[in-house]
Structure 1
Amino acid sequence: MTIATLIAAGRLDDRLAEAACAHFGARRGAWVDPGSALDLQFDGKVPAVDGWESVDLLPITPGPRRRLLLVADMDSTMIGQECIDELADYAGVKPQVAAITERAMQGELDFAGALRERVALLAGLDEAVIALCLAERVRPNPGAATLIATMRAHGARCLLVSGGFTAFAEPVGKMLGFNQVRANVLAVRDGKLVGTVDGAIVDASVKRATLIEACATLGIARNATMALGDGANDKAMVEAAGWGIAYRAKPALAEVADARVDYHGLDALLWAQGIPRAEWIEV
């Protein structure tokens, strides 16, 4: 038997619950939060939602329901922006950079090569623009801080691992409450961006390795982990995790993830871990 959490925040009444059981071929389980989240039981594979009633249906993989390690992507996952695209806007090259970003996130381009190509277009930009971009444009996705605060309160370790840049990831990680941050380092000389990255590039293989290394260091079983992302560069870590989540994701990631969140905020992942809203630390 497989359990999946049906989520329709604030509108999940008995009518919708019964309609969902009929539509998905499921049986009712226990409420996680009356009116918002209900467990459903399946004998076979959990079907895709495909837009039905704008609900999210998250299958729960084997392992402890309250996960002990979260490894999350940043751009378009924990925050609503692609930082390199926004930075490129200040340099007057956003259309060129955004087009490469989209193809990379769809899995059409090698990530490392695409990153180098985009960063080269930023050469000469004043380093001070990074702080301006952070202040003016970078915003957390709904429920991001609540997800991290609540998981940490329940004993989880939360890592932000980004193919973006430490100049953004470190302040975002601090703002959202992550334990640790890993990202690329933009090369800066004399207050200007050089157009290169210092050190090894954080790509899909590094994201996967970070999850595996954290399991070994912390003594956490793989089935107690959760990985969260939105694009092709997150596939390896999402597939390596005990529970891999695609958040409003590109098809390249959505098709391999264990569960998808398409209609709710990131805090919906707390319901899927069996945590009712009364136990959330809302930030």
Structure 2
Amino acid sequence: MKKTVLVTGASRGIGLLTAKTLAKAGFQVFAAIRGTEERNAAVVESLNEYAKQNNVQISAIEMDVTNEVSVNKAIEKIEQTNAIDVVINNAGIMPVGLTEAYTIDDYQKCMDVNVYGPARTMRASLPFMRKRKSGLFINISSNAGRIAIPYFGVYCASKFALEAYTEALHYEVEPFGIEAILIEPGGHGTDLVSNPPAPSDDKVLTEYGDLAQGRDKILGMFQGMFAQQDASTDAQNVANKILELIEMKKQRPMRTTVGHNMGIDKINQESDIAQIGLIDMLKPVYSGK
């Protein structure tokens, strides 16, 4: 029997590709989308047509990851008919610009989607999974969750936070037969770089002078790279890797990179040494044994 999967942020980009890829592989997919009857009504219609043409099981469900009531309602609705086996926390935004010029309000909006969003979704799903003693969370991080990049300070901070939250949770829910793991894509051609959230403090931007133009330059660099349509930057790679992780029979890695990883594999290997040592020392405490 194929598993039931919930994919957040499924209206576009990696989320949409993942929803379609998993449905085609035979999974029952719930594509979490906000504004299903308004702003994304056309996406829902397209998904319904896709399901019909390909004879697959994929259903759009209203969910706003920044709203706890919306998240809880969606997950409870799914659980009435389908036990959720896998959650893909994909919904995210990518602010690009001078770090100082992002106000605290700007920063909070990013964290609300990129960190609190997955936390809300996992908190809503975990009670059901703990009762069943099974479940899998795959949280979409980034290379930017392991290294700091100029003009990506706010985005990096949110992904660093997601990495820490996910890994700590992983060890805590492991005794229930539940996994929480991370996938770390490099640069892939999605609309995240089309019009990312810009900083709103114009006074700071002015004071930085020409340095404020770094946002446009770095975005231009990425857009130029994606325009070449190199196979390594195809976002489908991420969807394929997610499918591979779900179907993996052996123990899944805590972190999986996809595409150009800018040395992230080496960072992960080195940090694993310290992390594993720490966990071995703490396991008698957190495992209750």
Establish whether TM, by shorter chain, passes 0.5.
no
Name the TM tier (shorter chain). Answer: 0.3 to 0.5
Higher relative contact order (CA 8 A, sep 6+): 1
Could you say which structure has the higher strand fraction? 1
Could you say which structure has the higher helix fraction? 2
